[in-house]
Amino acid sequence: GDEYSGYRRVLLKLGGEMFGGGSVGVDPDVVGTVARQIADVVADGVEVAVVIGGGNFFRGAELQQRGMERARGDYMSMLGTVMNCLALQDFLEREHGIDTRVMSAITMGQVAEPYIPRRAMRHLEKSRVVIFGAGTGMPYFSTDTAAAQRALEIGAEVVLMAKGVDGVYTADPKTTPSAERFECITHREVLERGLKVADATAFSLCMDNHMRILVFNLLEEGNIARAAGGARIGTLVST
Ligand code: UDP
């Protein structure tokens, strides 16, 4: 059943790949669906911050394999995340009338505010959706790590990790049909069992600082509101 633990402030992490609907660029249908669900969460009185990946445009590691310098490829990829942020901002404001601020880790004053933590928190207090762009602003990091870091710094109670699967399993459910989903698991057990929730840097940040992570399926309509409402969906990783 649905159990409402009533999150007050959440950080939603969305993968870039889903934003692109499986190809390069932004899929308006996906962005529209996500925006509608975020609007529902805001209507429930929950403060929402968002980190979006950039895999639908570039990934630094992949550009490196094709001969580019890693750091430059990472910067290109971070710029890609900002396009995703602007797309989400557009849908939230235009279709739902929700005040939204994009805050970028790389300064680009015409399209986004700089990331200023206290200002981010002020926006959240005023029920504005804050979308963090450009990851951490640092090459060699990931948007999962940005999600963990921002969640910690702005005092979010949970990282809502939206995925294409509905949680953490004992094994890969695609290759192991008997794999079972965990409803709850500790950070330590995730490590001990060699399971993957996020990349190692992001995960250790969460573990060291007791940040909860809810892994849930984005593809099921309404799940963002369920996740933010504390419903027992997906897998909750906590200490
Ligand atoms: N990136 C980076 N530093 C960051 C965040 C992202 O260099 O703090 C780059 C990196 O190349 C990464 C890409 O941006 O591969 C896209 O981010 P990510 O892979 O996390 O996106 P997702 O897989 O969630 O779509």
The alpha carbon of 143 and the centre of ligand 1 are apart by a number of angstroms equal to 5
The alpha carbon of 175 and the centre of ligand 1 are apart by a number of angstroms equal to 27
Atom 21 of ligand 1: nearest residue by CA position: 53
| pLDDT exceeds 70 at position 3 | no
Q: Are 216 and 234 in contact (CB under 8 A)?
A: yes
| pLDDT exceeds 80 at position 2 | no
At 172, the pLDDT band (50, 70, 90 cuts) reads confident
Pocket of ligand 1 contains residue 55 by CB under 6 Å: yes
Give me the interface pTM, i.e. the ipTM.
0.98
Q: What is the mean pLDDT of the chain?
A: 96
The alpha carbon of 156 and the centre of ligand 1 are apart by a number of angstroms equal to 21
The alpha carbon of 10 and the centre of ligand 1 are apart by a number of angstroms equal to 21
Nearest CA to 180 out of 191, 167, 192 is that of 167
Pocket of ligand 1 contains residue 136 by CB under 6 Å: yes
Pocket of ligand 1 contains residue 133 by CB under 6 Å: no
Q: What is the pLDDT of residues 12-29, one digit of tens each?
A: 999 999 999 989 999 999
Amino acid 5: pLDDT:
63
Atom of ligand 1 nearest to the CA of 136: 8
